[in-house]
Amino acid sequence: MVTMSGKVSQFSDKKYINLETYRKSGKAVCTPVWFVVHNDTIYIITTKETGKVKRIRNNQAVRVAPCGFRGEIKGEWVSGTARFAEKDESEKALALRKKKYGLQARLVGAIVARKGEPVVIAISI
């Protein structure tokens, strides 16, 4: 059985997190996103053309906080470091997203597939 650290455990029963990434200017950009947690790592699935991917390529520092659908914060902000997941991690994250979000994940996955290959962001906090 995998146990979660205290910082990650606050996210375990949540549906959305607010992901804060940073522009080259240093200005923060917040985006509410779906996520999954595995082995104390938070995974976010998106496509390579999104702003968050571009910002993480330039600056791996991020913050995350539990939130509602529209991004309203429902917990504490936690600082972390983002990276792009390896193939095996990505496959695991995609499977966990299907399990967590069910039919919604399958529908979103079909739409996202039209926009290109999924990119999985791994966040260590």
Model pLDDT for residues 25-41, shown as the tens digit of each residue: 999 999 999 999 999 99
Could you tell me the two tokens for 124? 């260590």
Domains of the chain by start residue, with CATH: 6-124 (2.30.110.10)
> 64 is written with which tokens?
């995350």
Asked whether the predicted pLDDT for residue 114 surpasses 70, the reply is no
- In this prediction the pTM is 0.88
